[in-house]
Chain A
């Protein structure tokens, strides 16, 4: 460990941590909004909506996030008629949010599908209205089942936010990389960056576990 470099870079790394949090939070909001819409479309009675949303999920899940990010950053500005020039930060948020929305949609869909049909039927036959059967019986169980995969998606989103450094955003990794190129104290700087990610991911994982236990009681 190179303590001098660590002391000198601590401020920059903290700034990088803040950028990582910003990218992650904005992308998470985008992913949740899009993900819920896609999940609803995936269980819709309309076949076209189902097919379109399935295609959306499969295409996004099976192409590397880096390729999607590079497409937004390097390819969109070369569109022939209406070139779209977005800054690196915006590209990062959009790519990460849209990519993660496919996983959010799958988590929600599997949660709803995981509640046995008999539950809804039993609730209805015991005299509940459809709305209260959904609200009191199906959805509480679906949410409990959704928490583990959704929590995983959030953790992956935080970790995947590191890809914005490849289009020169100075997030945690970008900052470590920049300082490393100047000082060659890579081990120290990566340890600092790793600590930053642990500060974000470990409490998230802990929170998800606690929530899961609470909801499954």
Chain B
């Protein structure tokens, strides 16, 4: 097993984990911002805005993330006329997909903020935007942390799918390692499974701790 734990191999896999985490971190950031905007759009009083957001959210949620990844890599460049490298396509796909799921979590969080809090803020003279930014969103975001963390664990697992468009993340690099001598997939899979498990279990535990807080 010394081949697997050779410094060069471990470094190669660590780089894959780095790519996985970087892709996930960028997608989490973009999808969080886009998800909040989508949720606000869906809750907006303007009919066309609500409908556009609703169609986007429900459409995305009905499709496999693999289809979105393939679309971003193989079809999108032809539509927008810009060549995308695998990482850029991966970021676009993971962000666009997760944004729809984040939007639903945020919407549920906003709807769960009691009316009285909003009315009290309005009565004390805050404007609509101020109420949303200073009162409603902070309360809602606190309440939906467990659901958001669970969604981000799903995102981290789904980044493995970008291996099929050639991003050299953890799963793809694992495949490269076992396709070379001594050609042994079992130890390689065991190692990358342990790595994924540790990262995701750690993230889930943080989520559970947030859930346990009153």
Question: Which A residues contact B (CB, under 8 angstroms)?
Answer: 58-59, 61-67, 70-71, 74-75, 78-79, 159-163, 165-166, 173, 176-177, 180, 186-187, 190, 193-194, 197-198, 201-202, 205
Which residues of chain B are within 8 angstroms of A79 by Cβ–Cβ distance?
186
In the complex the two chains form, what is the Cα distance from A123 to B135 in whole Å?
Answer: 43
B70: interface (CB < 8 Å): yes
Which residues of chain B are within 8 angstroms of A62 by Cβ–Cβ distance?
153, 157, 196-197, 200-201, 204
- Asked if B62 contacts A59 (CB within 8 A), the reply is no
Minimum CB distance partner of A177 in chain B: B70
- Asked if B186 contacts A187 (CB within 8 A), the reply is no
Which residues of chain B are within 8 angstroms of A202 by Cβ–Cβ distance?
62
B161: interface (CB < 8 Å): yes
A-B contact pairs, 26 of them (CB 8 A): A61-B204, A62-B196, A62-B200, A63-B193, A64-B171, A64-B196, A66-B161, A66-B163, A67-B193, A74-B175, A74-B178, A75-B186, A75-B189, A159-B63, A159-B64, A160-B64, A162-B64, A162-B66, A163-B161, A165-B66, A166-B164, A187-B71, A197-B62, A197-B63, A198-B59, A201-B63
Contacts known (A62-B201, A187-B78); A78 close to B62, Cβ less than 8 A: no
Q: Report B165-202 residues with CB < 8 Å from chain A CB.
A: 171, 174-175, 178, 183-186, 189, 192-193, 196-197, 200-201
Contacts known (A62-B201, A74-B185, A186-B74); A67 close to B160, Cβ less than 8 A: yes
Q: Total A-B pairs in contact (CB under 8 Å)? A: 103
Question: Which B residues contact A (CB, under 8 angstroms)?
Answer: 59, 62-67, 70-71, 74-75, 78-79, 153, 157-158, 160-161, 163-164, 171, 174-175, 178, 183-186, 189, 192-193, 196-197, 200-201, 204
Q: Min CB distance, B112 to chain A, in Å?
A: 16
* Residue from A65, A78, A190 within 8 A of B67 (CB atoms): A190
In the complex the two chains form, what is the Cα distance from A59 to B160 in whole Å?
Answer: 16
In the complex the two chains form, what is the Cα distance from A166 to B162 in whole Å?
Answer: 11
From DSSP, what is the main secondary structure of chain B's interface residues? helix
- Asked if B189 contacts A186 (CB within 8 A), the reply is no
In the complex the two chains form, what is the Cα distance from A98 to B164 in whole Å?
Answer: 22
Which residues of chain B are within 8 angstroms of A194 by Cβ–Cβ distance?
63, 67
- Asked if A205 contacts B62 (CB within 8 A), the reply is yes
Q: Min CB distance, B201 to chain A, in Å?
A: 5
Which residues of chain B are within 8 angstroms of A74 by Cβ–Cβ distance?
175, 178, 185, 189
Minimum CB distance partner of A194 in chain B: B63
Q: Min CB distance, A72 to chain B, in Å?
A: 10
Q: Min CB distance, B182 to chain A, in Å?
A: 10
- Asked if A173 contacts B70 (CB within 8 A), the reply is yes
Which residues of chain B are within 8 angstroms of A61 by Cβ–Cβ distance?
200, 204
Minimum CB distance partner of A65 in chain B: B157
- Asked if A193 contacts B67 (CB within 8 A), the reply is yes
16 extra A-B contacts, CB within 8 A, seeds A62-B196, A64-B196: A62-B153, A62-B157, A62-B201, A64-B158, A64-B160, A66-B163, A66-B171, A67-B171, A67-B174, A71-B193, A78-B186, A79-B186, A163-B66, A173-B66, A187-B71, A202-B62
